[in-house]
Chains A and B, each alone.
Chain A
Amino acid sequence: MSVKVRDMEAVFRKLDVEPIPCRHHIRGYVKFKGRILFPLYYSFGRGDIPGFVVEKIAKTMHLSREDLIAMMGCSITKKQYFKKLIDGGLI
């Protein structure tokens, strides 16, 4: 399955990441209880995000590619995602 910019927009919305636009990117910060866990960003555009970049985004979020794609849909909720991070000892 190809990943599009709008799928990343969905991730930002799901995790309540406030988007900060700059010239080529949208960046934001994934926060948990007011603390920033990591920055997240993607390029402008309407096309597909290259597969190697999807891998990088997933790695940044401590997810597998499959889990990231599940996040873009409805299979993983915000609550489930943070639980996963807590269980993994990340927060």
Chain B
Amino acid sequence: MSIALVVDDKEARLRTHANFLAEQGVNALKALDISTARQLVSQSPCVDFAIIDINFDPRFGGNKQGLEFCRQLKSERYPTYLTACSAYYADNRAVMEEIAQEFDEVIRSDPDETDYQRVISNARAKRIAFLGKAVLVHRNFLEQDPENIIKFIQIHDFKIANSKILSEEYVSYIRAGNKIKLVEPVYEGKKIGRSFLLWSRKYNEGFLLEVYKVPALYAYGGTEEEAVTMLNEIIVGLYEDYKRLSLELGADSEAVWAFVKRVYEMDP
């Protein structure tokens, strides 16, 4: 399921956004103010697009705060599709121009189904266009230009706070000495794609990584970082093959490509 961030200090409009998006299969993270939005973004690296109000109640930071938040998102992440939705500045040409310059799209303050469908479709196109470039640069790096290093993945320790959700499989992996890690695809220092979980296990000969719930995707290396680089190469390679070759999938390969597509693109 795609994830959107919706930020508006009017509860009714926030609900409207969320309801319309839910009808399109998009899960909306709702924030009534910018500080909540910042918190949600820091906890959820997988935001595909955002619909942001511009003017906020003075008690929560006031004028044009949505514009500042948009600039912040642009500097930290890519390619989240940024949409402005505000009636407040409709008559102010200078501000509207500023908004149009910063955001990918401006929608009217009372959007309908077709507006949301367009935003979702544009967001997907932006991500895919960007990924085409990123994969191309990555391939050039692998084949020709070792100086042009891309850090595609960052790795973090990860803990599941609620132990009640742990499956038997999870417990057995932990007992076998695995640690669970959260991985974020990163390109040019900005977060792209979706984060995902990995099992990491240390052996005498090195580290073995396995994608959580996709055991056919694994890699090893002398160090954990090296193993991540190897896994990255494999995942990028599979994504590239998927785009380049017409692959007819069956058996386990469906789950593998569903995962690879989920990481790099928005869900269909």
Mark A residues whose CB is within 8 Å of B. Answer: 20, 22-25, 27, 29, 32, 34-39, 41, 43, 50, 52-53, 56, 59-60, 85, 90-91
Contacts and interface: CB of A to CB of B under 8 A. Distances in A.
Interface residues of B, number: 27
B249 interface: yes
Given A25-B230, A43-B230, A35 B248 contact: yes
Nearest to B230: A24
Interface string B188-224: 0000000000000101011010100001101010000
Interface of B: 142-143, 201, 203, 205-206, 208, 210, 215-216, 218, 220, 229-230, 233-234, 237-238, 241, 247-253, 256
A64 to B, nearest CB: 15
Given A60-B216, A91-B251, 12 more contacts: A22-B142, A22-B237, A35-B248, A37-B252, A38-B256, A39-B234, A41-B234, A50-B203, A52-B220, A56-B208, A56-B215, A90-B252
A23 B238 CA distance: 14
Contacts of B218: 53, 56, 60
Contacts, number: 79
A85 B252 CA distance: 12
Contacts of B250: 32, 35-37, 91
